[in-house]
Amino acid sequence: MQKGDHLFLVDGSAYIFRAYHALPPLTRKSDGLPVGAVSGFCNMLWKLVEEARETAVGVAPTHFAVIFDYSSTTFRNALYDGYKANREAPPEDLIPQFPLIREAVRAFDLPCIEKEGYEADDLIATYACHAVAAGGEVTIVSSDKDLMQLVGPQVILYDQMKDKRLGPEEVKEKFGVYPEKMIDLQALVGDTSDNVPGVPGIGPKTAAQLLDEYGDLETLLARASEIKQAKRRENLIQFADQARLSKKLVTLDCSTPLDTPLDELFVHEPDGEKLIAFLKAMEFTSLTRRVSTKLGLEASSVEAAPVATTGALRGPDFDGATKPAQFVTAATSSLLPLSPVAHAAAVLEGAKPAPFDRSTYVTIRDVETLEAWMDEAREAGILAFDIETNSLFANMADLVGVSFATAPGRAAYVPLAHASAATTGDLWDEKGADDSVGPQIPLDVALSILKPVLEDPAVLKIGQNFKFDCLVMSRYGVTIAPFDDTMLISYALDASSSLEGHGMDELSERFLGHKPISYKELCGSGKGQVAIAHCAIDKVTEYAAEDADVTLRLWKTLKPRLAGEGLTAVYERLERPLLPVLMRMEARGIRVDRDILSRLSARFSQKAAALEEEIAELAGERFNPGSPKQIAEILFGKLGLPGGKKTKTGQWSTDAKVLEELALSGNPIARHIVDWRQLTKLKGTYTDALPAYMDGEGRIHTSYSMASTTTGRLSSSEPNLQNIPVRTEEGRAIRTAFIAPPGKKLLSADYSQIELRILAHVADIPQLKTAFQEGLDIHAMTASEMFGVPVEGMPSEIRRRAKAINFGIVYGISAFGLSNQLSIPREEAGAYIRRYFERFPGIRDYMDEAKAFCREHGYVETLFGRRAHYPDIRHSNASVRAALERAAINAPIQGTAADIIRRAMIRMEDALAEARLSARMLLQVHDELIFEVEEDEIEATIPVVKRVMEEAALPAVELSVPLEVEARAADNWDEAH
């Protein structure tokens, strides 16, 4: 090698994992051998070899090598036995591909380098050092940060996926230090994936800053006592040796003995036939075509190479690459002494239920088989059940098929309404369809077999997000009972703001370590999406049966935790019984007057158009008032108005608050933009959008989510009927479109001040409790306590401020927030809060207790035992921590209110039935319930509804303040509210 030469070093092991994860899983050769990663690997390698000159690297290699990890034990394990100890085993279907990938490299006629006792990174470092010494240049094909220490004037990293080259400047940009200091930075930061410890509490940002200030690791450790931040100083002193060890672990070894000298890595013409023979054997048709075209060979004249495709080819090389000791397989374990811990782990691994195997799932196409499965369900007493439909709207979804599982791994799919693969708009499709998809049990026959089991009191049905399935099935005359819902179990256990969610795919990955086939993988997404009824039935079987299988396994994992963690009552009293109630509310829907909405749309659109003219006039040009960016350009740029605050992306904010202030200082354009926004918002979000959700009877069916808030509140979507406008007159007009059918009225019943009442109870504030008991004006009373002003003749501004403080308290008040809300200086807001705490010291005690409880347990509780988890409550960033503390203060209050209205809803239907009333509950808006009531039953219904709501906390909790409910009936929601 000499000056001008260019060496490419491909980090083969990293390449494999990128190829594996970049490609859709389960790519198999015709004999069933998984080859997805091999395919991705070959494509990437070919692309790199062929197109290096056109990439960001810009030169073609003169020397080339692909380098792999060989074994798990290296000199680093001698330094630190925890090294790479928490690496997970490679995916099952990837393992047989490791040897094939080495075959692939040889087929490309490229050197395939690996060495026992050394990691790929050390080999790469050594070759790079040799090449630099010889005056050559080096491109390392990898984006691994561990390799960044090698970057220098002659060495760059190349990220092929992103086609980006990383030189010293890019490293500096990414990590804040130049490559020479990467080792020190890594030593401080550590690396979770390799189990390099580093120094606790130091991340990349802090490490870069420290190295910038002190120069290098040793100097930093020597002068650690000078550091101001107490925690950081302590850690650097305490963990100095750990940092030194980490440094040794991350430092790459440039003196690896090389079996293949650098000069032998020179590039030569590949043996085209050998390569094509391999690619053909792998059945990579398009790559075979590309390669043969490029090399000017006729692919058909080359015979596929015999490639060993069994496990026999598994060499000693690959499993060590990532497998930690405790996953050593039976075959090798006899050679290695297992520690007791590793042994226990191996035993536990063996006790795990059968791994997921989609090939065992059954497609049921005849009555006898279906009956046999139902017998099995009766025998087992449990049945995980899932449906596939043609719509996500449960009120209009039709069944396409059903799946179920009776035991882990034992699952089946029953196609019921599949049609042939879609060709667009062909009239013959519908008739010819059934022939090409094979036999299906007629829907009514299948239902007659399923129904007795789904309704059998001795068979527990298990679903995931079961409200959807129950609702659809109810439209087929099936009332599923008894049941459990894994989504609700998970929610009762783990409602948390930082945990992702309670969807099946997430739960499966979290609790079963298994990634199910996603809907997207089955049906595609966006324009390419296909109806499930048109997907191949064998694919749908894998997908649908897997969902049932996963649901069953989740239930087995999660259900026992309820009792273990004392959450059975929450699940059985607040979650599960609400599901059928909400299901019926969604099924009923609420009547909406289409004409009212369209008249409002016309009115809003006319007014908005007029405003748009005036805005253009005032601005001197036309622009889009819907674009905050353009507004900022016009107002703060062209017109030179003073900007207020900035958004987090650095743009000038143009929110209503900023514009209101500009309007007050005499800028009519700001006022007009605010008004325009309001009108277009009302039109776009409500009057235009709502009619699209109406069904044939003029009713809208929202969907309630029982598991998407941290506090226990419900949420409503498609459409969201919990944010229908009420504050402005124009907005309120939208509520007049929500009506009752002839002969009926809408009844609205809402809790008055429920959260403040709960606060008065839990924080035990005598003045507040008395005020509520005596039915006083709570905000006026607060103002009077705080400012010493008599309630009689109190200025409205004083009361308004007290009201804002009361709300703020419930939200975990901060001076910043209150000053924002009231548009007063931060100091003044702070003074208010101090005075509030002086007058009501119990409030501060409550807040401190909530925070302390949360710090200790990681969660807070409502009066009914519902938990909201805040695992990051001890976050080191003070403002993040403060935000979590506010949430932890608010959650028990908001959550208790949510629990109370849930209890009311659960009891409501029986109470109405017992009173022989026909009122139907339609909507819930956090502290309000909306009913449809026969006109002549209104008088009788109101007291029943009020009683159920006001007594909803009893007998579990006896509040020391009364709950009050206001109820009113009218022709539309506006007047009833």
Q: Determine contact, residues 711/895, Cβ cutoff 8 Å.
A: yes
Q: Is 969 helix (H, G, I), strand (E, B) or coil?
A: strand
Nearer to DNA, 483 or 973 (CB): 973
Quote the strand ranges of 818-953, DSSP E: 859-861, 867-869, 920-924, 928-934
CB 746, min distance to DNA, A: 15
CB 841, min distance to DNA, A: 18
Nearer to DNA, 231 or 645 (CB): 645
CA-CA distances (angstroms) from residue 886 to 366, 660, 756, 894?
A: 58, 28, 16, 12
CB 866, min distance to DNA, A: 13
CB 656, min distance to DNA, A: 3
The secondary structure of the chain in percent helix, strand, coil, rounded to multiples of 5, reads 55, 10, 35
CB 710, min distance to DNA, A: 4
Angstrom distance (rounded) from CA 833 to CA 818: 9
> What residues are paired with 463 via a beta bridge?
485
Nearer to DNA, 407 or 882 (CB): 882
Q: Determine contact, residues 241/80, Cβ cutoff 8 Å.
A: no
Nearer to DNA, 342 or 882 (CB): 882
CB 636, min distance to DNA, A: 11
Nearer to DNA, 288 or 702 (CB): 702
CB 620, min distance to DNA, A: 18
CB 22, min distance to DNA, A: 12
CB 275, min distance to DNA, A: 30
CB 17, min distance to DNA, A: 20
Angstrom distance (rounded) from CA 586 to CA 692: 16
CB 34, min distance to DNA, A: 26
Angstrom distance (rounded) from CA 816 to CA 833: 11
Query: 């103002």: which residue's tokens?
Result: 783
Residue type, 416: L
Nearer to DNA, 479 or 651 (CB): 651
CB 257, min distance to DNA, A: 42
Per-residue burial over 885-914, b if 16 or more Cβ lie within 10 Å, else e, is bbbbbbbbbbbbbbbbbbbbbbbbbebbee
CB 518, min distance to DNA, A: 12
Contacts 24+ apart (CB under 8 A), 799-805: 801/832, 803/779, 805/832, 805/833, 805/836
Quote the strand ranges of 142-260, DSSP E: 155-159, 164-166
Angstrom distance (rounded) from CA 772 to CA 759: 11
Nearer to DNA, 410 or 502 (CB): 502
Nearer to DNA, 193 or 624 (CB): 624
Nearer to DNA, 196 or 535 (CB): 535
HEC string of 612-665? Answer: HHHHHHHHCCCCCCCCHHHHHHHHHHHCCCCCCCECCCCCECCCHHHHHHHHHC
Name the nearest CA neighbour of 574 among 810, 850, 863, 858. 863
Instruction: Give me the helices (H) in 651-702, please.
Output: 656-664, 668-681
Q: Determine contact, residues 382/526, Cβ cutoff 8 Å.
A: no
Angstrom distance (rounded) from CA 744 to CA 935: 5
CA 189 to chain centre: 27
610 burial type by CB count under 10 A (0-12 exposed, 13-18 middle, 19+ buried): middle
CB 825, min distance to DNA, A: 14
CB 267, min distance to DNA, A: 31
Q: Name the DSSP letter for residue 718.
A: S
Per-residue burial over 307-336, b if 16 or more Cβ lie within 10 Å, else e, is bebeeeebeebbbbbbbbbbbbeeeeeeee
CB 579, min distance to DNA, A: 17
Q: CB neighbours (10 Å) of residue 621?
A: 8
CB 769, min distance to DNA, A: 22
Angstrom distance (rounded) from CA 54 to CA 950: 73
Q: CB neighbours (10 Å) of residue 250?
A: 24
HEC string of 51-114? Answer: HHHHCCCCCCCCEEEEECCCCCCCHHHHHCCCCCCCCCCCCCCCCCHHHHHHHHHHHCCCCEEC
Nearer to DNA, 6 or 502 (CB): 502
Angstrom distance (rounded) from CA 413 to CA 388: 10
Q: Is 303 helix (H, G, I), strand (E, B) or coil?
A: coil
Q: Up-side HSE of residue 160: CA atoms within 13 Å toward CB?
A: 28
CB 530, min distance to DNA, A: 13
- Beta strands 460-463; 382-389: pairing state: parallel
CA 748 to chain centre: 35
Angstrom distance (rounded) from CA 219 to CA 212: 11
Nearer to DNA, 457 or 526 (CB): 526
> What residues are paired with 399 via a beta bridge?
389
Q: Which distant-in-sequence residues (6+ apart) come within 8 Å of 339 by Cβ?
A: 325
